[in-house]
Amino acid sequence: MAVYALTGFSLVSLLSFGYLSWDWMKPSLVADVATDPMEKSLPPAFARPPHIIFILTDDQGYHDVGYHGSDIQTPTLDRLAAEGVKLENYYIQPICTPSRSQLITGRYQIHTGLQHSIIRPRQPNCLPLDQVTLPQKLQEAGYSTHMVGKWHLGFYKKECLPTRRGFDTFLGSLTGNVDYYTYDNCDGPGVCGYDLHEGEDVAWDQSGKYSTFLYTQRVSKILASHSPKEPIFIYVAFQAVHTPLQSPKEYIYRYRSMGNVARRKYAAMVTCMDEAVKNITWALKKYGYYDNSVIVFSTDNGGQTFSGGSNWPLRGRKGTYWEGGVRGIGFVHSPLIKRKRRTSWALVHITDWYPTLVSLARGNLSNVPGLDGYNVWPAISEGKESPRTEILHNIDPLYNHAKYGSLEDGFGIWNTAVQASIRVGEWKLLTGDPGYSDWIPPQTLTNFPGSWWNLERLTNGLRKSVWLFNITADPYERYDLSDQRPDVVRTLLMRLVHYNRTAIPVRYPAENPRAHPDFNGGAWGPWASEDDAEEWEGGGEPLKSRNKKKKKCKICKLRSFFRKLNTRLMSNRI
């Protein structure tokens, strides 16, 4: 039997602490009613394609924005969201690479082969080159395209780089986790390198500049040098607020009374990022872009609770398929929106931005069939019903299989040991191991350990492999209905079977020692030649070729050399 109480605390106690003080249906937080009489007259159709600014933050928790009742100050995000459209039924992916790949391609992970984990720095892997990306479609529509920030979609060969995937310019990091000042990234003991790039070159001269400031300054520079008469797309993928927890001291000082050190640093980073968004918005106005612009704000996954983030009152955290891992902060701010100052409960997924933005740009979608995303602009701008009725959160056949799952538990049609999750209408189904399943209030207490605040440790959870929730009625996933509604479980399992038939093989090759930064001038970057790329893509082993014997011998000797050299380097550094 599930336990719906804290160890040593009651739900009433939480209310008295104020952790449940904000309500999803409270008008001041959810449904902002437009009072401006000018909004009764709808704006005409766009005179020209709008400028598009897409802002993606990293590891920002669902609770960590002012208008969700947070103790973190985000006045800019609060204002932009209040004046635009808040997306309160908006979904992303639970970790970095999957969200970014789905944004850039408009396709589920099962259709790009990236359904397992992330792309790691030493893997010969990247966003499949046969995918036509969002910036490429916008280039076709006449847009100037720019990326600033974190890529994390692979870089083992030059064809994988942002400037080869549709961006005219790029300033940022290629891996998933760098120091905010030095831009160093270690992928294990002794495997460290510099990761800040300008175009396809290493930007050594930018070291020492706090990344949030550096990226904001670059956006302002791009806007200053471009003509507002020509359409522009800027993808701003902030490193913030991913670990390491680093922030300028002046922002930390604002939260000096916050007892939990990790939460204090994290809050400072969020507020710094908020001010960066303010400066970007100011630049749009200063240089004449704002009146014909669309600003989209999105998080990439749920917050990491042991690194200061909070997804309260949602269940779970980053890396899980509970709502705390996949429900994102999202809003659209634009003078071009017909019905502003409101909250939308239309179902929206991160794959939807591809067709939505290409349609806004008057681009051509006819030559990219099979997209998983929908054009949701009418739902956002006019309040119409969303064309989306379901979301495949993912099917990951490589993730650790649940101990108690079986084909029998899945009515003989689905092995419930496989990690998968799907939302259909108001129902959400999870199978396998969905990940850490607790509810964790904001870590505002000194030396707060998350394990104290488990609302439910799921005493029988380890023996389960199927969960069913009515997300509309139970957004916090407290009441598992899988036993009461086997009919719904079976229906959603059939949808998983349907999607799984369309899945392509997982792309998750073994790491290769040639990617070590010491072999690339001390920086992370492309390391495979065109010939090498084909040999390593299949999972770390050479693929068949006409010169099989010669190449196999060459590769074996090379690998042996790098393996021995890498061992010496690691022993010296350790």
Q: Which residues are part of the catalytic machinery?
A: 96, 152
Among residues 207, 216, 251, 247, which one has the least CA distance to residue 234? 216
d(CA 323, CA 490): 21
d(CA 362, CA 46): 10
d(CA 348, CA 102): 13
- Is there a contact between 49 and 361 (Cβ–Cβ < 8 Å)? yes
- Number of C-beta neighbours around residue 209 at 10 A: 16
d(CA 568, CA 550): 28
Give all strands of the β-sheet with 419-424 in edge-to-edge order. 390-396, 419-424, 427-431, 466-470
- Number of C-beta neighbours around residue 219 at 10 A: 22
**CA-CA distances (angstroms) from residue 186 to 362, 566, 572?**
42, 14, 15
d(CA 192, CA 505): 31
d(CA 255, CA 71): 10
d(CA 81, CA 30): 11
d(CA 411, CA 490): 7
d(CA 249, CA 251): 5
Among residues 118, 106, 11, 6, which one has the least CA distance to residue 58? 118
The DSSP-derived string for 500-525 is HTTPPPP--PPP-GGG-GGGTTTB--
- Is there a contact between 122 and 187 (Cβ–Cβ < 8 Å)? yes
d(CA 121, CA 525): 9
d(CA 302, CA 526): 30
- Is there a contact between 101 and 114 (Cβ–Cβ < 8 Å)? yes
- Reply yes or no: is the peptide bond before residue 513 cis, omega within 30 of 0: no
Q: Which residues lie below 8 Å from residue 484, measured CB to CB, with a gap of 6+?
A: none
Kind and range of the H or E run holding 21 = none
Among residues 317, 338, 395, which one has the least CA distance to residue 116? 395
Structure tokens at 227: 């003509």
Tokens 């495979």 map to which residue? 528
HEC readout, 300-324: CCCCCHHHCCCCCCCECCCCCCCHH
Amino acid residing at 428: K
Structure tokens at 247: 């922030």
**Residue 289 φ then ψ, to 5°:** -100, -25
d(CA 125, CA 196): 19
